[in-house]
Amino acid sequence: MRVLVTGSAGMLASDLIPVLTKRGYEVFAPPEDMLDITLLETVRSVAQSCEPDMVVNCAAFTRVDEAENEEYQALMVNGFAVQNLCLVCQELEIPLVHFSTDYIFDGTKDEPYTIYDQPNPLGAYGRTKLLGEKYVLWLLNKFYLVRTTWMFGTYGKNFIDTMLEIAQKQQKISVVNDQRGCPTWTRQLAEAVADLIDTGRYGVYHITSSEPTTWFNFAGEIFRLAGLDIELVPVTSDQFPTPARRPLNSVLDPFPLPQVLGREMPSWRVGLKEHLKQAGKLAAK
Ligand X SMILES: NC(=O)c1ccc[n+]([C@@H]2O[C@H](COP(=O)([O-])OP(=O)(O)OC[C@H]3O[C@@H](n4cnc5c(N)ncnc54)[C@H](OP(=O)(O)O)[C@@H]3O)[C@@H](O)[C@H]2O)c1
Binding residues for ligand X, rule: CB under 6 A, are: 6-7, 9-12, 32, 35-38, 58-62, 77, 81, 99, 101, 129, 148-151, 156
Smallest gap, in angstroms, from Cβ of residue 199 to ligand X? 20
Residue nearest to ligand X (CB): 10
Our CB check for ligand X shows the closer of 127 and 129 to be: 129
> What residue spans of the chain are helical by DSSP H?
11-22, 40-50, 64-67, 71-75, 81-92, 124-139, 159-167, 186-199, 215-226, 257-261, 268-278
Which phi-psi region, left, alpha or beta, contains residue 17 (left: φ > 0; alpha: ψ -120 to 50)?
alpha
Our CB check for ligand X shows the closer of 190 and 276 to be: 190
Strand partners of residue 148: 101
Q: Fill in the amino acid letter for 156.
A: G
Smallest gap, in angstroms, from Cβ of residue 172 to ligand X? 26
Our CB check for ligand X shows the closer of 121 and 229 to be: 121
CA separation for the pair 263, 8 (Å, rounded): 28
Our CB check for ligand X shows the closer of 101 and 209 to be: 101
- Is 125 tagged catalytic? yes
Smallest gap, in angstroms, from Cβ of residue 227 to ligand X? 26
CA atoms within 13 A on the CB side of 31: 1
Smallest gap, in angstroms, from Cβ of residue 171 to ligand X? 27
Spell out the residues 6+ positions from residue 31 whose beta carbon is closer than 8 angstroms to its own.
Answer: 8, 9
CA atoms within 13 A on the CB side of 266: 15
Our CB check for ligand X shows the closer of 227 and 243 to be: 243
Contact between 43 and 89 under an 8 Å Cβ cutoff? The reply is no
| CA 260 to chain CA mean position, Å | 20
- Catalytic residue, chosen from 125, 135, 144, 205, is 125
CA separation for the pair 186, 184 (Å, rounded): 6
Q: For the chain, what is the largest distance between any 2 Cα atoms, rounded to a whole number of angstroms?
A: 56
| CA 121 to chain CA mean position, Å | 16
Residues in the chain: 285
Smallest gap, in angstroms, from Cβ of residue 62 to ligand X? 4
CA separation for the pair 147, 181 (Å, rounded): 13
Smallest gap, in angstroms, from Cβ of residue 31 to ligand X? 8
Our CB check for ligand X shows the closer of 37 and 164 to be: 37
Residues recognised as catalytic: 125
